[in-house]
Copies of this chain bind each other. A is one copy, B any other.
Amino acid sequence: MSHPHPELTLPPALPEGALRVVALGGLGEVGRNMAVLEYAGRLLVIDCGVLFPEDHQPGVDLILPDFEYIRDRLDDIEAIVLTHGHEDHIGAVPYLLRLRRDIPLVGSQLTLAFVEAKLKEHRINPLTLAVREGQTEQLGVFECEFVAVNHSIPDALAVAVRTGAGTVLHTGDFKMDQLPLDGRVTDLRAFARLGEAGVDLFMVDSTNAEVPGFVTGEREIGPVLDGVFADSAKRIIVASFASHVHRVQQVLDAAHAHGRKVALVGRSMVRNMTIASELGYLKVPDDVLVDQKQIERLPDDEVVLMCTGSQGEPMAALSRIANNDHKISVGHGDTVILASSLIPGNENAVYRVINGLTRLGARVVHSGNAKVHVSGHASAGELLYCYNILKPRNVMPVHGEVRHLVANAALAVKTGVPADRVVLAEDGVVIDLIDGRARVVGAVPCGYVYVDGSSVGEITEVELKDRRILGEEGFISIFAVVSSADGKVLAGPQIHARGFAEDDAVFEGIMPELVQALEDAARGGASDTHQLQQVVRRIVGRWVSNRLRRRPMIIPVIVEA
């Protein structure tokens, strides 16, 4: 297996008749999935999603794939193929279309409906081509066949891309539930047929490659929900991902079976489920859905509230309910169900929500104490099936952190794929498929692009480092006006500190030394305010370090007057 982090240089020109693959996101993280295929000078983009920030990226709203590699080649893009409607696959589409609005979007009906709703908020009206499983479309030089896959959102597709250089099969996100609620299984017949014909490069979801065995079937959730509903005497609140149509379907069915009504809470939940029911993916039992006003008039034992916030997002309905800071209140005897996985990194936030709800008297049912959620990604056992059915000539694990990619690569090798045919790459690494063999040939710059407020890509690691320092240590600003004539301090020094000291009085002790040092420096011929600022920084820094054992950011501002 080629090492994920070799010392790579810019790749050579792509040889005639060869295929190039570059991931601009999703390799080395779970999110911002985006792959760019190149053949005969033309580009095909597969997915264009966002990544949500971690705690070492404070204040960041979203993280985008790095479009730099294609910025000068936007006109070469034949289309963006979207495998399914999750944010980590469609969330960055608006930012790419801002660069070129008429790139065609290709995907299933539900996927396009979700992305169009999102684009409307950005005032973009895209060109789209809706496709179904089994359908084949010629997108410029790329012949794309779409294959049904089963995932935690309906209408997900894998895509087989045929070019003169060979056939690439990209799974998108998928699992292999053999008894899915909608009966739409991952089409292993198609996988077999493609395998027979020959898959030259298999790009495969790695998210659960470390997890042994098989994902529990969605059908096993229903009875569990049913049991929870059965012994709930008062109100039931269910939190889930706003796009999980099947989970919402199960809640609607359980509510219907127990004579309860459901109100959807939260903008994204309402928007997505309205789309899903209009398109027939969500089947709403007779008048089980009511609005919030209506539900407030119902007795507790007829109420179900379906909301977002299962990851502890502080602004989401559930967190505010847990903080008693929402018009929906929770009390003794109420039941709250977190029908979702706990995404690593969200534990503190989620446990704060669970503790808050428990403190208010609610019973909280979650993946830690009941089987109310199953993953949407194939576990190791399912991936082995894929490899054996496809017998791919080359494998490229996608969608995951390094540990996931490496685990997936090991599975491929176990099924007999030669280790030197399994390409381990991270974002920006360039893979060329030449004469049926995939190799790492170089790398292009590929960084994190931060969306922060209205700024896109302006926040860099420098600002994030400043934020971490400010966030952990606070800052001290020192302001003084010195006479340009004789260097005497005319005003100040004023010291303002935030984030670490009770009050600024603590600094009075240092004032005389500061004034002295400034005037000495001036007399000593410190020719500009910059030098004076260095003096101040040194004195205050040393004092704070010795006296308070702290390393705050120090901002001296010396003005000459």
B475 near A550 with CB under 8 A, answer: no
B361 near A3 with CB under 8 A, answer: yes
Stretch at the interface among A104-112, A215-223, A252-260, A341-349: A341-349
Q: Which of A204-261 contact B (CB under 8 A)?
A: 210
A135 interface contact, C-beta 8 A: no
Q: Which residue of B59, B358, B550 contacts A471 across the interface (Cβ within 8 Å)?
A: B59
On chain B, the residues within 8 Å of A479 by CB distance are 479, 557, 559
On chain B, the residues within 8 Å of A494 by CB distance are 557, 559
A344-B351, A403-B358, A500-B59 are contacts. A548–B453 as well, Cβ < 8 Å?
A: yes
CA distance A264 to B347 in the complex (A): 32
On chain B, the residues within 8 Å of A471 by CB distance are 58-59, 467-468, 470-472
B559 near A492 with CB under 8 A, answer: yes
A329 interface contact, C-beta 8 A: no
A348-B56, A359-B5 are contacts. A550–B470 as well, Cβ < 8 Å?
A: no
Q: Chain B residue with minimal CB distance to A467?
A: B499
Q: Which residue of B361, B364, B477, B499 contacts A477 across the interface (Cβ within 8 Å)?
A: B477
Q: Which residue of B4, B344, B355 contacts A403 across the interface (Cβ within 8 Å)?
A: B355
Q: Which of A114-130 contact B (CB under 8 A)?
A: none
Q: Which of A262-301 contact B (CB under 8 A)?
A: none
Interface 1/0s, chain A 464-487, versus B by CB < 8 A?
001110111111010101000000
A43 interface contact, C-beta 8 A: no
A453-B548, A467-B471, A470-B474 are contacts. A355–B402 as well, Cβ < 8 Å?
A: yes
Q: Chain B residue with minimal CB distance to A406?
A: B358
A99 interface contact, C-beta 8 A: no
Determine how close the nearest CB of chain B comes to the CB of A440; give it in whole angstroms.
Answer: 15
A459 interface contact, C-beta 8 A: yes
Interface 1/0s, chain A 385-419, versus B by CB < 8 A?
00000000000000001110010000000000000
CA distance A471 to B492 in the complex (A): 28
A463 near B458 with CB under 8 A, answer: no
A452 interface contact, C-beta 8 A: yes
Q: Which of A472-517 contact B (CB under 8 A)?
A: 472-475, 477, 479, 481, 490-492, 494, 496, 498-502
16 contacts between A and B (CB under 8 A): A5-B359, A54-B348, A58-B471, A58-B472, A59-B474, A59-B499, A358-B402, A452-B550, A454-B549, A470-B470, A470-B499, A475-B475, A479-B479, A479-B557, A494-B557, A561-B561
- Beyond A453-B550, A454-B548, list 7 extra A-B contacts (CB 8 Å): A358-B402, A358-B406, A359-B402, A458-B502, A467-B472, A481-B559, A490-B561
